[in-house]
Structure 1
């Protein structure tokens, strides 16, 4: 569907549709474009797309580090039309195998979206901190939660673009 851009989100996602999940790369920006982060993000993939309420959504962050990492935190913040609606801090080693050697690595994360989450535009900010709480990277990306019609459950929805 050309012209429709649906972004995915790492945080609390479910799906009402029973279609086969697709995988799409998601555009992201660094939080501070002038800063040189110790961890360089090379890609964000969220699956499935489009996002709807009712099923698990997964995302994978591909990154590169110059130094081995033995511990750290993943800090997630979600904003809805600019207002903070969700935050979570988790153990980096719970999202990937530690120690992380220097070089390429991935962080995989899955979440459920509450069925009461409103449709619209969201922004997810993801920070990775080392064991001393030093910020290793910080990225942001936008996504949209739309509505779909699920005839089995009688839920009226319309795709947002």
Structure 2
């Protein structure tokens, strides 16, 4: 689904929801333009055979070179169809990043810029909790913000 490395924030955790990939459109992310993060996920816990998740929250934290710069929370049912039941589903979140968001190249030489773009200078951590505050998943991925957007990027 994308070529962005997606990592489980707690590698040893066995989450009820598994994320298989992330797609960012447009890519690279463009300042002042709407960006959509689409996340492919699936339910994996036996609890979903008995009761679907009928509500909860997405908690998103964004860091820039390791410093947390933004945090927000969204109703789960506004980002995907509820109830979330057994099988594959998609979470889609769109927002406009502020026009003053610094691009990577503002601070670096071309060589360093290329190296940083490969790993991403912005990091996004997303947690999903149900309406009882039970953590269902926690993932993260790195991304870059450029001057001009091009094609979508997808990871599988």
- TM-score exceeds 0.5: yes
Pair 1:111 & 2:95 matched: yes
CA distance in 1, matches of 2:92, 2:29: 17
- 2:28 pairs, out of 50, 72, 77, with 50
Q: Which runs of 5+ in 2 are unaligned?
A: 105-120, 149-156
Q: CA deviation at 1:51?
A: 1.7
3-state SS of the aligned residue for 2:29? coil
Per the alignment, residue 12 of structure 2 pairs with 34
Q: Name 1:124's counterpart in structure 2.
A: 124
Specify which structure has the higher proportion of helix. 2
Matched, 1:89 2:73: yes
Aligned equivalents of 1:24, 1:114: Cα separation in 2: 24
- Contact (CA 8 Å) 1:24, 1:49: kept in 2 or not? no
User: Which 4+ residue blocks in structure 1 deviate beyond 3 angstroms?
Assistant: none
When residues 43 and 24 of structure 1 are mapped into structure 2, their CA distance, relative to the original with a 3 A threshold, is: closer
Asked whether the 8 Å contact 2:6–2:139 carries over to 1, the reply is: yes
Q: Which runs of 5 or more structure 1 residues have no equivalent in the other structure?
A: 1-22, 149-161
Count of equivalent residues: 126
Root-mean-square deviation (Å): 1.4
C-alpha deviation, 1:54, in angstroms:
2.3
Q: TM-score, normalised by structure 2?
A: 0.76
String of CA shifts for 1:9-63, please: whole Å, max 9, x gaps: xxxxxxxxxxxxxx95422100011111000001111111122212111011111
